[in-house]
């Protein structure tokens, strides 16, 4: 890490050590969840990563600005969780390691390869990544980097199944990452649950692929009828106790709460339901997680990015507790 291994930072002028996330929230360089910056993967348990990419969107762009604004809104975060009373920074070595760099931003295959290589390095180092997109196309190459040892389970919270085929001649788009991941054996469809699906489509292709492959699709109407507790129980039944990845698309939340996204769909989760849903996955062996599709140009109040940063914090708490448990 660039500073102390315990998350401390050293003042360049005075040499004084301090904890950035305990400073007044208007101070310091904006990082994910006010974590320290790191220049290497050494002495880390959890890496916070930005992927500023949205060339895979099918309509409204802007998610490339998501990581920067999520860092800004992360300044509102504190460390101690009000429900569990756990402090993720006291449980694991956490740092913001910056953004994935691309060798050719307009070459979609090359971007996918760049992301996959980046996450392969994180995986080899034994570090769990928590990522901020970017559009949802980034999750496919993340899984390429993390699931090289065999298929993993997937908790996918979204308004859309993202299992569509090629769009405008390309398979690298935000509507198809989980079709690709399934076809390449990166996720086990029998251990995949998709939660909050809704919205009219011009074709049933995505819904059909998810169902035919064996994924458990929970449309928003079912989630509403069951309630969050029963939804969590069903999701945990599907994914079991094996390694699992969690992908959270901000458009799973109703645009009344999260308007700043590329493909908003009315009738979604409330903010509270989203938090309760994520907390319900406490104790699962997560190999990584992401929050995607925050689009600041469509987020005039900043509430969508604030909600995205809060979801990231909830995910960080899950992963940090898991790290601490594994160490003991």
CATH number at residue 125: 3.40.800.10
Say what the pTM is.
0.95
Domain assignment present for 63: yes
Instruction: Tell me what the pLDDT averaged over the chain comes to.
Output: 94
What residues form the annotated binding site for Mn(2+)?
136, 158, 160, 162, 249, 251
H-helix or E-strand spanning residue 50: strand 46-51
Residue 192: inside a domain: yes
Residues in the chain: 328
Strand partners, 37: 96
Give CA–CA dist 135/211, Å, rounded. Answer: 24
Domain membership of residue 207 as a residue range: 44-327
CA dist 228 and 239 (Å) reads 16
Is residue 10 in a domain? no
Q: What burial class does residue 279 get, using C-beta atoms within 10 Å of its C-beta: 0-12 exposed, 13-18 middle, 19+ buried?
A: middle
Average pLDDT value for residue range 275-304: 97
Residues 6+ apart with CB under 8 A from 111: 53, 55, 102, 104, 105, 141, 172
Domain membership of residue 1 (yes or no) is no
Query: What is the pairing mode between strands 286-292 and 244-249?
Result: parallel
Q: Which residue has the tokens 């929970």?
A: 218
How many separate domains does the chain show? 1
What are the pLDDT digits (tens) for 204-253? 999 999 999 999 999 999 999 999 999 999 999 999 999 999 999 999 99
Rounded to whole angstroms, the Cα distance separating 19 from 240 reads 38
Domain assignment of residue 270, yes or no = yes
Q: Are 122 and 129 in contact (CB under 8 A)?
A: yes
Specify if 22 maps to a domain: no
Residue 3: pLDDT above 50?
no
Termini Cα distance of the chain: 23
Whether residue 219 is contained in a domain is answered as yes
Give residue-wise pLDDT tens across range 161-176: 999 887 777 787 788 8
Question: What residues are designated binding site?
Answer: 136, 158, 160, 162, 249, 251
Better-predicted residue by pLDDT, 193 or 327 = 193
What pLDDT does 47 receive? 98
- Does residue 107 fall inside a structural domain? yes
Instruction: Say how many C-beta atoms besides its own lie within 10 A of residue 215's C-beta.
Output: 24
């Amino acid at each position: 890490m660039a500073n102390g291994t315990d998350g401390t930072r050293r003042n360049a002028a005075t040499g004084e050590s301090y904890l950035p996330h305990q400073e007044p929230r208007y101070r310091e360089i904006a990082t994910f969840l006010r974590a320290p910056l790191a220049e290497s993967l050494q002495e880390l348990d959890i890496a916070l990563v930005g992927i500023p990419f949205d060339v895979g969107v099918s309509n409204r762009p802007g998610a490339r600005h998501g990581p920067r604004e999520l860092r800004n809104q992360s300044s509102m975060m504190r460390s101690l969780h009000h429900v569990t009373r756990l402090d993720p920074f006291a449980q694991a070595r956490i740092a913001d390691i910056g953004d994935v760099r691309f060798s050719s931003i307009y070459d979609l295959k090359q971007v996918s390869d760049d992301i996959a290589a980046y996450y392969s390095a994180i995986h080899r180092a034994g570090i769990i990544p928590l990522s901020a997109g970017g559009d949802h196309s980034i999750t496919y190459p993340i899984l390429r980097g993390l699931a090289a040892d065999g298929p993993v389970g997937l908790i996918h919270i979204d308004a859309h199944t993202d299992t569509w085929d090629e769009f405008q001649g390309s398979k690298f788009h935000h509507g198809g990452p989980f079709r690709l991941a399934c076809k390449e054996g990166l996720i086990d469809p029998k251990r995949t649950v998709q939660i909050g699906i809704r919205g009219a489509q011009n074709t049933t292709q995505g819904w059909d692929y998810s169902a035919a492959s064996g994924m458990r699709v929970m449309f928003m109407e079912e989630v509403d009828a069951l309630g969050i507790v029963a939804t969590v129980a069903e999701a945990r039944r599907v994914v079991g106790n094996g390694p699992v990845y969690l992908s959270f698309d901000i458009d799973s939340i109703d645009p009344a709460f999260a308007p700043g996204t590329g493909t908003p769909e009315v009738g979604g989760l409330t903010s509270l339901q989203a938090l309760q849903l994520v907390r319900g996955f406490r104790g699962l062996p997560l190999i990584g997680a992401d929050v995607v599709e925050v689009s600041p140009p469509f987020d005039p109040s900043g509430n969508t990015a604030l909600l995205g940063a809060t979801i990231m914090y909830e995910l960080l708490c899950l992963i940090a507790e898991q790290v601490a448990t594994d160490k003991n």
